[in-house]
Structure 1
Amino acid sequence: MGLLTIVTAAAVAGAGYVRARDAIVQRAQDNAVIETTNRVEQLYPLPARVFDHAALERIAGRVSGREGSAIAYGDGISAGGMDPSVITGELRSLVSSGRVGWQRVSYAGAVWLVVGMQLRITADGSSRSSGVEVYVLRPFTSEIEVVNELARNAWLIGSAVLILALGLAFLAARGVLRPVRELQLAAWQLGQGDLTARVPVRGRDELASVASTFNSTASSLEHHVGELTRMEADARRFVADVSHELRTPLAAMTAVTDVLDAETASLPGVAGQAARLVNRETLNLTRLVNDLIEVTRFDSGTAALALDDVDVAEVVRTCLRMRGFTEVSASLPDGVRARLDPRRLDVIVANLVGNALRHGAPPVSLTLSVAGSVAGSSLEILVADSGPGLPESVLPHVFARFYKADSARGRSEGSGLGLAIAWENARLHGGTLTAANRPGGGALFTLRMPLGGDA
């Protein structure tokens, strides 16, 4: 738009200057020709005789005027005070043909106008050439000054018009681009999660319509997101409330099932099987409720670390021993100490090893080491099994809540929350938990946590 304004202003100023300049030059030339013609006509009637030098001198003097000089040619001689070098061959040819000619020439550092014509003799009702040509040299200085002044005015007016046009273009562009920038900023804020972002609506043009549409869309989005957030909060609160309410009856049920489990050997066949089934399902339900309570703590942001300087190998050995994971091959070098939450590390290891034993194949191995990096040393625990590994479609979802690779798997085989809780605990420590397949077969889970426990 700015370039168009500049080109338009320059074209208008240039066209105006050229037309005015041509008009001034043409008028000056016409006046000079008319004046010279009038002076020549005052010489008539010319005598029908040969002109000598004195006669040519008188003719040149009479047609020269006050400001110019003239020269007259006739019978091979010339007279007058004009420099003959300013007469071009082109002008001589034109005058020799009987026509009036004129031409602008550079002379003495300025622009001059040369006007030439023939003198004719009229006798017996006919006109013939007298053989005399006169040329008048007039200064063109005043006209050139007028043209130069016109050029300066054209530049000044063109510059003023250009500045004014640019100012108007800037104001117009600002009026158009300002709403666009505001819309862009509001869209960016909305993308960053600020659902209160709105655009001021000005006027009734298309941009105002776009701003109104954006505001209504943002308001609708804010309302729906608010509803979803409220529903999600209600769902989390419901799960938390139900889980807490279930803990008391579950504690009583666990105590009863423990008694039944101790007496299963003395119960008859079907009654013993029922007692063992009740005990196992009660334990599974207790585990599920505890997992749900832990998940709600992560969602609400109330999960916190109880950091302590611990011997990592001892924490892992205790975890394996307490859960009866005796078939696990563990490589646990002594002397590896870290500042972390031992209870949460116990949960991570228990879930990883339990998952490998349930869904992989022996042998299952656990390796503890300290890995160095540019950012510092970190604790690394690898849990690997020798099973078929994880399908490629499962890898992206392995840490998702309630996700089971085999949907037909019975609920007694796990709640689908174990690996999700392990991942959350690793993240709470400022670490990572990843899943992959080993080149030789089997799944490999890698836990990395900073030794300092910085979250």
Structure 2
Amino acid sequence: MQWDWRVWRDRLVHVWRGSLRVRTIVLTVLLSALAVTVIGVVISSSVRANLFDSRRDQVIAESGRAAEQAQRIFTTAAELGDGTDVQATADSALATVQRSTTARYTALLRVPAQDVPRVIDDQASRDFQPGYASTELRATVIASDGTDVAWQSVAVDSEDGLDPGITTGSILDTISAGRYQLYLVYDLSDVQQTLDFVQSTLAFGGFALVALFGGVAYLVVRLVVGPVRVAADASEKLASGQLEERLPVRGEDELATLARSFNGMADSLQRQIRQLADLSRVQQRFVSDVSHELRTPLTTIRLAGDVLYDQREDFPPTTARTAELLHTQIERFEAMLADLLEMSRYDAGAVQLETDPTNLVRLVEESIIAVEPLAEERGSEVRLVAPGGYFEADVDARRIRRILQNLLGNAIDHGEAKPIVVYVDSDERAVAIAVRDYGVGMSPADVERVFDRFWRADPSRQRTTGGTGLGLAISLEDAAVHGGELAVWSQQGEGSCFRLTLPRRRGDELGGVSPLALPPDAEVAA
């Protein structure tokens, strides 16, 4: 299986964003590690500088004393007149230097460009390398003329590789054989070992300190985030309807105050929700009971009204007109009772879908044919635009037809005798129907309330279809019970568009993108 770094990156980002505990602990560890590293580097650098400076001063002092002893040997030999064996004097001086110092390597080299004949051979330890006394150091030693001890840092060969070291240089005057350079090479491995020990101790202490900081952060975050997580879980349970959920109250600190406040809020919400639920049940029952009770007298009134309406031609004109008005209002009253009963079923959760595979284009065509007389009366042309696709869907045809009748009736009422276009389109997962008119349109405030019960955008406006004010509210419920959505777009002076989007198969969820734009593209209508 190929490793995908993007998957792990997404998982880490999810953990980072989703856990306050992880963020707090990681930030604490990183910041403490940074602080410990900075402090460790500063301490290590200071210790290193102090150790090196101390050892350097010791080496320079020791080299100076060794050079003075060697110089006294040459001076004493010259004063005693023992100048016959200058090489022996040089060997004695070099041996004295080796015994009196801790230098690892020694070298006695003649200063070049002297008029005095060479009577003392250059001498150096077996492993002394020319690089231990660089050209720059030799020039400094010669220029000092024996007044100071010059030095430089070098890398000294050892069994384990290279060790740090210091080379010191000074001038010796042999009196009779000219001037010579005395070089002493010191091994600073003991200083390096001390520095390594200090650094390892600092590193171990730093790791331990960072781990301690991480542990402390974990304990603190657990004490603080734990109750917050409990509160978040309790909030989710309250939001899901478990109104009895409460937080445990322990102690008298701020978290205990938070728990008491949360519990008080939950008690208040529970009381208010129960009151609203009781009120809603009373209201729903009242509407349902009134609707059922009104059906019996309405049936009697309807029978009497039909008799009068059928005999209206035998009445005087005024009485005949009264019979027609009575018939119209009885029909409207029946429609209102039917809508109220339907809303009460939705409120009670008693709606059952009867779905069948349905060709929505054919259903739309039938709905358009049903409203064509009203559209012609108002001077509007209803056109169907169906570019093609998967038009068959599992729906309750009666409820979808009711949605279309409401949308088409509203479009005719508010279309201002302009064309009305019905769009049908789909993809493999969803089917969409849009009803677009080019009438008066609605303001943004009206759009927000367009699905409210008994609400009309313009109550004073004459309506052809004689609606009850519940049509769009019932349409919204019909769309929701299918798992779909009913959306609206409107602008004053440009008209309105209602779009119904439904899943093609019952129980599927909409993917979030409708097959039709809102409003649909004008090019589609063309």
Match of 1:89 in 2: 139
Specify which of 224, 235, 240 is matched with residue 288 of structure 2: 240
Deviation at 1:353, TM superposition (A): 5.2
Question: Structure 2 regions of 5+ residues with no counterpart?
Answer: 1-27, 385-390, 509-526
Partner Cα distance (1:285, 1:172) in 2: 74
Alignment map for 1:26-37 (pairs within 5 Å): 26-32=53-59, 33-34=61-62, 37=65
Partner Cα distance (1:443, 1:27) in 2: 91
Q: Which amino acid aligns with 1:292?
A: L
Partner deviation per Cα, 1:73-132 (whole Å, 9 max, x = no partner): 8995657844696472313433523x4555555566663543647689xxxxxxxx9999
Q: Which amino acid aligns with 2:469?
A: G
Question: Structure 1 regions of 5+ residues with no counterpart?
Answer: 121-128
The percent identity for this pair of structures is: 24
Deviation at 1:416, TM superposition (A): 0.7
Deviation at 1:155, TM superposition (A): 3.7
Match of 2:200 in 1: 156
Partner Cα distance (2:280, 2:157) in 1: 97
- TM-score, length of structure 1 as denominator length: 0.66
Match of 1:140 in 2: 186
Which segment drifts farther, 294-303 or 207-216? 207-216
Match of 1:408 in 2: 460
Q: Which amino acid aligns with 2:291?
A: S
Partner deviation per Cα, 1:58-82 (whole Å, 9 max, x = no partner): 4443343166557498995657844
Structure 1 residues 418 and 107: CA distance shift in structure 2, 3 A: closer
Give the CA RMSD over aligned residues.
5.7
Please state if 1:174 is matched with 2:218. Answer: yes
Q: Which amino acid aligns with 2:65?
A: T
Partner deviation per Cα, 1:346-384 (whole Å, 9 max, x = no partner): 5345545554565556699898x9x6643179696x878
Alignment map for 1:69-218 (pairs within 5 Å): 69=106, 71=108, 76=116, 78=120, 81-82=123-124, 86=133, 88-94=138-144, 96-97=146-147, 99=148, 105=154, 111=165, 113-114=167-168, 116=170, 138=184, 140-141=186-187, 144-175=188-219, 179=224, 183=228, 193-194=239-240
Partner Cα distance (2:409, 2:506) in 1: 25
Assess if the C-alpha contact under 8 Å between 1:56 and 1:73 holds in 2: no
Q: Which amino acid aligns with 1:6?
A: A
- TM-score, length of structure 2 as denominator length: 0.59
Assess if the C-alpha contact under 8 Å between 1:399 and 1:420 holds in 2: yes
Partner of 1:140: helix, strand, or coil?
strand
Match of 1:390 in 2: 441
Specify which of 347, 350, 356 is matched with residue 402 of structure 2: 347
Assess if the C-alpha contact under 8 Å between 1:310 and 1:340 holds in 2: yes
Q: Which amino acid aligns with 1:9?
A: V
| Number of residue pairs the alignment of both structures matches | 435
Specify which of 57, 64, 70 is matched with residue 98 of structure 2: 64
Partner Cα distance (2:282, 2:232) in 1: 29
Specify which of 352, 357, 362 is matched with residue 304 of structure 1: 352
